[in-house]
Structure 1
Amino acid sequence: MHSHTPHGLRVRMFVSMALLGVVYAIPVAAVLLIGVPWPVVAVLAVLTVTVQWFGTEWLARQAAGARFVDANQEPELHAVLDRLCALNDLPKPRVAVSLDSAPNAFTVGRSRRHTTVVVTSGLLRTLEPDELTAVLAHEIAHIRHRDVAVMTLASSFAIALAWIGRNTGRTFLYAPGELLEAGLIGVAVVVVGAFAALLGALAQLPLRALSRYRELAADHGAAVQLGQPALLASALLKVHNPDVIPRTDLRVSRIPALGLVARRPARLSWLSTHPPLAKRVNRLEALLRR
């Protein structure tokens, strides 16, 4: 088995990024066409990315109620990460534990040197040591592939567009009189808000596709590195247990696919942030037969 990402996945990730670029080009072109100076557009774009780049990790940890733990508090967890990081020649990420009964894990950060792996207490109780190693190998694969940085950057403008659309909608619902009194300016605000909301929703399609492909790539990388795809498959099946309902949505940080599995899978697979469990398990089983 080879450890590089399969060619088909790389192609699909590239196509998803290209489609996302097209969606993001639309509002940029629109504001330039109405006369907004390009330096203003550039400053706003940089500001949007900067806020996401430096704020996402903190927001994700706060949303999950995760607290940093050292090697004295979680020696086995740190020992596994030490081994995996040595194998991958990566700096060791910070480690945090969320006191959530639902088994889950995710990685947040902005680069290979500024990353945190978060696991829930439910995960530590649910998995056997070898299965936990497989899950952590999956998270390390995300770091090796720079997935967190890519998804943070890719989702920045989608989040900004959704924020504009949501707040405009709230104003329209709760203070319509103010918009009416503003005349043409009020109409313009409503149009801009609706346009932003539409583009924000449209951007979710390639974003979620990109997230699904990166999950498959991380599965592949972890399974190949450990040489035991069955361990990750077993862990995914346990984590996906529908009887375990989380108190906290660990993906509330607004970056798609921060959890190990989708806690509430979308009815349509192309709207989900994660591949269907059966597809992930089947791909892992296929690795066993190689």
Structure 2
Amino acid sequence: MARSTPHGLIPRMMAAMALLALVYAIPIGAALWAGIPWPGVAAVVVLVVTVQWFGTEYMARKIARAHVVGPEEQPHLHAALDRLCALNDLPKPRVAISRDRVPNAFTVGRSRKHTTIVVTTGLLDKLETDELTAAMAHEVAHIRHRDVAVMTLASSLAIFMAWSARGVAKVAGNAPGAVLEAPLFALALLAGAAAAGLLSALAYLPLRALSRYREYAADHDAAAQLGQPALLAATLLKAGDRDAIPRTDLRAARVPAMGLVATKPTKFAWWSTHPPLTKRIDRLTKPAT
């Protein structure tokens, strides 16, 4: 089923990807400039991407403590996905439930054929049947757009750099005093941690911008699938209502950043993985111009 993408989103996605590629070129170029043979650099990149590609789904489900359920356990979810996947000519994803009281859903996997949609018990308790269908339409749109694969690949090196920065900082913190007394070694540790941390932060800026643009595109696609933009808007508003959720539940939320709505919204729009909820709803409820 062919559907248009909202005007302006594709150039913005391409700009974000170009900026991300530029950031990634810095550590790769630095490694080559330092004399590390290019096969070694390429091997590290391939290893990092491969681990991320095959391990993301397992790790996300593990973090969310999600278990796969069949049609007999969640008939409404499976029925909705049967219809939506038939409409989009997509293989049906697995369905998993996370015992998380914060309403949300997210999609993990590496391709259209290897995908799981995780739904929290909080979302199941809060939404009506038609609203759950709207939430699933949004997740199916992510699958149709291959967002899971794109974001998994795009974030691989950023995650590696973030973990590298933490690892170097931990080594520095646990290093014997005699080792740290060597000024060059101590300086190298500090410089390595700072560089990895800075590059990771720089990489996350275009990554999060890309995530926001893809959320808009998924909203647009889901509204087209449903034929009821107002239903999706109401679903997002209901799922995104954090005022009614105890703070202890919000702090304990285990849903990753790529959920239906932001689990823990930030005040800084440029650092958020999701567009502001008000803007998403405005785009869904205002007539296209």
Question: Which range, TM-score by smaller chain?
Answer: over 0.9
Unmatched 5+ stretches in structure 1: 252-256
Helix, strand or coil at the partner of 1:275: coil
Amino acid at match of 1:79: A
Q: Residues 172 and 179 of structure 1 are in contact (CA less than 8 Å); yes or no, is this contact kept in structure 2?
A: no
Amino acid at match of 1:105: A
Shift of 1:129: 1.0
Residues 70-219 of structure 1 mapped to structure 2, 5 A cutoff: 70-175=70-175, 177=177, 179-180=179-180, 184-219=184-219
Amino acid at match of 1:215: E
Deviations 1:118-175 (CA, angstroms, capped at 9, x unpaired): 0011111111111111110000000000000000001000001011111111222343
Match of 2:49 in 1: 49
Q: Residues 56 and 152 of structure 1 are in contact (CA less than 8 Å); yes or no, is this contact kept in structure 2?
A: yes
Helix, strand or coil at the partner of 2:265: coil
Moved more, 230-239 or 183-192: 183-192
Aligned length: 283
Q: For 1:99 and 1:26, how far apart are their aligned partners in 2?
A: 41
Q: TM-score, normalised by structure 2?
A: 0.94
1:4/1:179 Cα in 2 relative to 1: closer, same or farther (>3 Å)?
farther
1:132/1:36 Cα in 2 relative to 1: closer, same or farther (>3 Å)?
same
Match of 2:24 in 1: 24
Match of 2:253 in 1: 248
Q: For 1:13 and 1:198, how far apart are their aligned partners in 2?
A: 22
Q: TM-score, normalised by structure 1?
A: 0.93
Moved more, 260-269 or 134-143: 260-269
Deviations 1:12-33 (CA, angstroms, capped at 9, x unpaired): 0100000000000000000000
Q: For 2:24 and 2:182, how far apart are their aligned partners in 1?
A: 29
Deviations 1:9-61 (CA, angstroms, capped at 9, x unpaired): 11101000000000000000000001000000000000000000000000100
Shift of 1:184: 3.3
1:215/1:9 Cα in 2 relative to 1: closer, same or farther (>3 Å)?
same
* Percent identity over paired residues: 61
Q: Residues 179 and 187 of structure 1 are in contact (CA less than 8 Å); yes or no, is this contact kept in structure 2?
A: no
Helix, strand or coil at the partner of 2:286: helix
Unmatched 5+ stretches in structure 2: none
Q: Residues 97 and 121 of structure 1 are in contact (CA less than 8 Å); yes or no, is this contact kept in structure 2?
A: yes
Match of 1:5 in 2: 5
Helix, strand or coil at the partner of 1:116: strand
Helix, strand or coil at the partner of 2:225: helix
Shift of 1:194: 1.4
Q: For 1:273 and 1:170, how far apart are their aligned partners in 2?
A: 27
Deviations 1:190-248 (CA, angstroms, capped at 9, x unpaired): 32221111100111100100000000000000001111001111111111112224332
RMSD: 1.5
Q: For 2:183 and 2:271, how far apart are their aligned partners in 1?
A: 38
Match of 1:237 in 2: 237
Helix, strand or coil at the partner of 1:202: helix
Match of 1:254 in 2: none
Q: For 2:4 and 2:179, how far apart are their aligned partners in 1?
A: 54
Match of 1:64 in 2: 64
Amino acid at match of 1:212: R
